[in-house]
Chain A
Amino acid sequence: QVQLEESGGGVVQPGRSLRLSCAASGFTFSSFGMHWVRQPPGKGLEWVAVIWYDGSHEYYADSVKGRFTISRDNSKNTLYLQMETLRAEDTAVYYCVRDVEMTYFDFWGQGTLVTVSS
């Protein structure tokens, strides 16, 4: 069965960096585009970034463009999100999500909480 397991969340001071990882299993990781979607505490879902199945293209939400970098290692079945210059408004649960046809999200990880606070 499809499994997506995020890690790397925690408490970080404003302006610092953090890298999230998502270990994928149960499917051919290299065949699927992957996204990060976040959810601030008590609020709605916000798409963050996407990477093509082969890593050839990446796109970002305006709110994180220039600060966050999505990447993947298909040999390790792992998705990453490098977050730089973190702000309080980046505080959220970050979900690793599998893409289908660049249209919808069919499987979500359990999420990892990032708290940006001094």
Chain B
Amino acid sequence: SYELTQPPSVSVSPGQTASISCSGDRLEDKHVNWYQQMPGQSPVMVIYRDTKRPSGIPERFSASNSGNTATLTITGTQPMDGADYYCQAWHSSSAWVFGGGTKLTVL
């Protein structure tokens, strides 16, 4: 089965840049999507098809996908960005797969 691996936690100071990685075999061959989940709330898509940002998502959210690693980057991180972030991709052997999630702490 296909697996996506994320670090359990990332910490960043307000105003700094946060990077959250997502690793998987030949991940660059797939479209990676990212979801933000605030405590007690449903997930919200923040990036789709590797680099695209839905309307309403701040420009400080960006992403890339190369080789075996996709990266979500938050530039000028704000306290409100503290949340769990999940990467997701589709693979023929496992269908829709999520990473284990990364808890972003802004302090």
Contacts and interface: CB of A to CB of B under 8 A. Distances in A.
Interface of A: 35, 37, 44-47, 50, 59, 61-62, 95, 100, 102-106, 108-111
Interface of A is mostly: strand
Contacts of B82: none
Contact of B90 (A103, A110, A111): A103
A50 B96 CA distance: 9
B96 A47 contact: yes
Interface residues of B, number: 21
Interface of B is mostly: strand
Given A103-B31, A108-B42, A108-B43, A61 B95 contact: yes
A109 B43 contact: no
B95 A45 contact: no
Given A35-B96, A45-B98, A47-B95, A105 B90 contact: no
B41 to A, nearest CB: 8
